[in-house]
Structure 1
């Protein structure tokens, strides 16, 4: 993992050794975090290249730019060529190699095969290759877009870099924050659209799409971009359809080979072990090839949704050193400058808890194991194995493949309507799930070919989203800490295999990632292999993660909000300042803090807009990491002893506290046939007869506790009487006290029981 940047004078004028080299160094400095081990610049006539190196393979001689023996070719490359040894033996056995670097093989392959050599690569890469004889600069991005590459072009200069900030650092760049793109992205990202462009969130700065190559003629300034890989072009009839067991076996073989190849490193490797099937599969296979470290987020959310205990058990089962990294939302030092640094590094407004968790997890991993520079991830499995088929594109109750297909047809139609502009009553009229105006007509208006099936539309959504979200932030949060993120599930051979699966087998193999779960049957116990998908940190206790973000916004007298408002309401005049303040102040009124993401998105936009105006301004945060590592030998014992402390926050509440109900509180049970409530037998909390909280069915232990609150017994006495542990009710106790449902009384007050009745 490295950082590349450079520029071309499109008028052919030679670069200045002094002025332009200084610009190249400034651009490279913006990428210092990506490559802390070395920096080089290179000028040739009207081309300038800069490179920052993170030394992972060939630590001694792998410096870049790399050059051919005749000096005709020069290369800077961010990434890894996993099959470089095989390529050397097959195509370049007679060639002289100056280094043991995996990237040097690109020069010799290009010299022999031209750009057709791209078909031979297995790796993650974004590179710039200078061909002096042909007067060409060639930019290329790997097939799935694991490695980033941005560019800016005007009449005089073409500028590129691994990150937006490197492009912004060039004095010719005229760019501002793209408010319209940022404000509309969340609304549009879930619609299939094969031709959707990749935004950078900055005006006039673009991403080179995954699987694309761009040639620049150095003499004329002409540019030509083309796709060199697109899995949609894979013909399912290219080979006879196979039995599902054949695809499962081939999937297992390819995944094992991909994991083995991606452990290629002369440094230590780790894995983010979340507790889901994706990271469990990679960890299991990796543990058989190399000693690696496992790192897991330990928070109230990951404890409750089962990720943390599963990851803890799996690390022990696989024999991996386990690093459980504690994020205590009450105790974290949430310095606003830390978030400014994270936003500056990730360069996207769609940033929140996931980026916060992963940035600090990478930082802790690098500090804990200083020679660790490679981190394996489970990203890419959901996108091509159907991981969201039961959740994002289905009904919460009784999800099915039929409902999945129906939902994708709806999303496809919505996308066509957006693009065609046809929002008339005719286009929206339907009967029995069939529309009045045909899909074929709408597709004709937009030039969109029909999808062969729902799963094809699903993959189009996520091939785009991978580049705009998952791979974007996985790259930035790792690179910010001098770590390279690697993604075995995005080995192009695995992706191509999923495209070869005939439509008739889609439901069998891609419903809830069946192809992966079946492939790992020989390797994982069922408790790991069949564990239901749980989105990272999302679940019953999502509210605690949202409170962490709220605390971040509140830190230092709302410093982040105040700073963002300068851009939002004064410089850019994007939002109504009073409305945003009101939204922020009302966040604590909702126990779930549901709108915190919206407020944080707008704050992020303001911070990025400021970065666009002052791209060279560095972030000052250099504080200690606000997370700690916890040693856990016995999960159950640790959970009982320490787990409840993650939610304990009311200083007046402890096991000796005596509780009573606040004034006006009434707890009711709905009766059969009551039209106002969801299910008969469910419990609800009313305040002065107004419905305030619903007690979900899984909260029956909490209801049992509430039945014993009488203003006389202590918490400990009630727990002993009903035979419950602290951990079963404590977070609900804390919330009840915080939201004035229960009060801590001293001395005990008589007559403090709530009324219990049917509604």
Structure 2
């Protein structure tokens, strides 16, 4: 795991590029504290920088990586952030083809594979990664991001050059990268859901998951082409794999065991995150069976029994013989400077302080001496685990249309009303057009948006004009991946393209783990597992109202009975309004970042309306409405803080 950044500016090369590159590297020190390297080439106007977290090839993995004249990769330069699994076998194959290697790390295979296969090389790469390859002879740059967006990668192109980085703060260390905040992006962050590729800053884009960017030098600048090399493609309704249940179960079991085994490979010890969900518990069970020594398991415990799953995680740890380490978090831990730090590292706002909790956990894991953890993200996305997915399945699938399954499920999950579940059914014409219905997962955020709109200043609304963020999200989805699909596949696809990358893998994943130089490896998001999962019929993913049924059956013998039978429980931190200590802490942030001076400086909110909303929130005892206002306050605080925190 590492950080990468760079600039290609053939016509505008700075005399002080060495100092600029060092500043860019310094902004990513947390991503690679074990060393850094750079390549500055004034003749081509090129500078590439890499900060290293040594996981594989501890003493022989320095970057950038250069091609070799004796295997025809001369003139290639590459920097990589991430891991490639199965690299030893690929190295062996490439050697028989005549390719020679400069390092013993996994990263170098990408350079050789690109030379050998051209743009078809991605089908040979398996893992979590983001990387850049410069081809001097053809005068082109290739940026690549993994299939789900597990690793971040951003870029900006202008007449001053082409810029890229694992984090925007590294790019912003270059004087030619713009710092203007985008009002549309601010609105999206206030309602939680971003348009794929959008960032907080005008002109800075996130490379989309499953895409590569080909930047070709021309006579007057650059020609930039975005290529999609992979997508979460579900089969047409009725064309899923028609197999006996036992075969689906065994296929899932084998795929997951292989994925976990690959992610246990490292030249440093590997631990696991362990919550009370079947995903991380399954990983612990598989890891314990694969490796000889006890698995190290790290668990977060909250000071609110309604949200705390540590007791279930402990039962799993005992069953697997794992060495469990529980980090107990209190209200004061989730706010103040820790809240601000999570904003700094995430480079976006968040609706719940779970991201703060995960950042504190990653700090604890590093303090104990681990650099790598296997995590459970992706299981819900691929196997139909979220309550929002079941809500649509129950509502739109004929098998459930006449039952009370949906209402019963919402009653059991009413603690999450106002956040992940809407209290009422609402719709939007753009989603009705694109998907045939408005998915349940976006409805709570539509309600947040309705609460946000009256709080906005006239000046900010003028900047937005008639912009419709819900329509922008809906129309960003590829209709060809939705048309003719089952309702469950539609909602899973729409979530994968938006919330998985923008939320789960951002402030719930890489950004808060790498804040403390910790590499997280989500085993369920192995693309071999994903391609298998997407071909499993919906009624095997969700069976008789039981989410992730096929995963439960595949892992039945490693899970405690209580967990095997337990309904999915959303993993989130207790909202601020749930006890007085948290209210005290968020009030301190309100006083600091929502002061009259801050409101006037940023111009987003109408101060009188925002103050009244906060006052109403403090007097209310409506859980759903207060949860929604917690969300708005978290976003508002972060929006005011973020540009100052990241130095924009």
TM more than 0.5: yes
**1:580–1:304 Cα change, 3 Å:** same
**1:341–1:289 Cα change, 3 Å:** same
Structure 1 distance, partners of 2:233, 2:393, is: 28
Structure 2 distance, partners of 1:234, 1:391, is: 18
Matching residue of 1:26: 23
Structure 2 distance, partners of 1:387, 1:57, is: 33
Matching residue of 2:11: 13
Counterparts of 1:188-199 in structure 2, within 5 Å, are: 189=193, 196-199=195-198
**1:456–1:548 Cα change, 3 Å:** farther
Matching residue of 1:609: 643
Structure 2 distance, partners of 1:385, 1:239, is: 14
TM-score by length of 1: 0.70
Structure 1 distance, partners of 2:300, 2:501, is: 24
**CA drift at 1:68:** 1.8
- Answer whether contact 2:153 2:166 (CA < 8 A) is retained: yes
The structure whose RCO (Cα within 8 Å, separation 6+) is larger is 2
**1:199–1:102 Cα change, 3 Å:** same
Matching residue of 1:62: 61
TM-score by length of 2: 0.81
**1:250–1:545 Cα change, 3 Å:** farther
Count residues with an aligned counterpart: 574
Matching residue of 2:231: 230
Matching residue of 1:415: 430
Which secondary structure state, in structure 2, belongs to the residue aligned with residue 56 of structure 1?
Answer: coil
**CA drift at 1:109:** 1.4
Q: Which runs of 5+ in 2 are unaligned?
A: 408-420, 439-473
Matching residue of 1:377: 375
**CA drift at 1:543:** 6.2
**Of residues 600, 608, 611 in structure 2, which corresponds to 1:578?**
608
Q: Deviations over 1:471-507 (max 9, x none)?
A: 0111111000010111000000111112222466554
Counterparts of 1:100-179 in structure 2, within 5 Å, are: 100-179=104-183
**1:500–1:159 Cα change, 3 Å:** same
Which secondary structure state, in structure 1, belongs to the residue aligned with residue 141 of structure 2?
Answer: strand
**CA drift at 1:107:** 1.6
Q: Which runs of 5+ in 1 are unaligned?
A: 191-195, 424-442, 616-759
Matching residue of 2:455: none
**1:373–1:548 Cα change, 3 Å:** farther
Structure 2 distance, partners of 1:447, 1:277, is: 31
**1:287–1:121 Cα change, 3 Å:** same
Which secondary structure state, in structure 2, belongs to the residue aligned with residue 512 of structure 1?
Answer: coil
Structure 2 distance, partners of 1:488, 1:389, is: 22
Matching residue of 2:350: 350
Structure 2 distance, partners of 1:226, 1:186, is: 30
Counterparts of 1:686-705 in structure 2, within 5 Å, are: none
Matching residue of 1:460: 493
Structure 1 distance, partners of 2:251, 2:238, is: 17
**1:504–1:276 Cα change, 3 Å:** closer
Which secondary structure state, in structure 1, belongs to the residue aligned with residue 391 of structure 2?
Answer: coil
Structure 2 distance, partners of 1:597, 1:232, is: 32
- Answer whether contact 2:214 2:225 (CA < 8 A) is retained: yes
Q: Deviations over 1:536-575 (max 9, x none)?
A: 146xx7567665553332338932333xx544x2123111
**1:255–1:334 Cα change, 3 Å:** closer
Structure 2 distance, partners of 1:166, 1:445, is: 27
Structure 2 distance, partners of 1:390, 1:197, is: 20
Structure 2 distance, partners of 1:596, 1:405, is: 26
Matching residue of 1:318: 320
Larger Rg: 1
Counterparts of 1:139-288 in structure 2, within 5 Å, are: 139-185=143-189, 187=191, 189=193, 196-220=195-219, 221-232=222-233, 241-288=242-289
**Of residues 283, 287, 292 in structure 1, which corresponds to 2:295?**
292
**1:108–1:36 Cα change, 3 Å:** same
Matching residue of 2:337: 337
Matching residue of 1:489: 524
Matching residue of 1:554: 587
Which secondary structure state, in structure 2, belongs to the residue aligned with residue 584 of structure 1?
Answer: helix
**1:236–1:100 Cα change, 3 Å:** farther
Matching residue of 2:467: none
Structure 2 distance, partners of 1:251, 1:212, is: 26
**1:15–1:321 Cα change, 3 Å:** same
**CA drift at 1:198:** 2.6
Structure 2 distance, partners of 1:557, 1:76, is: 41
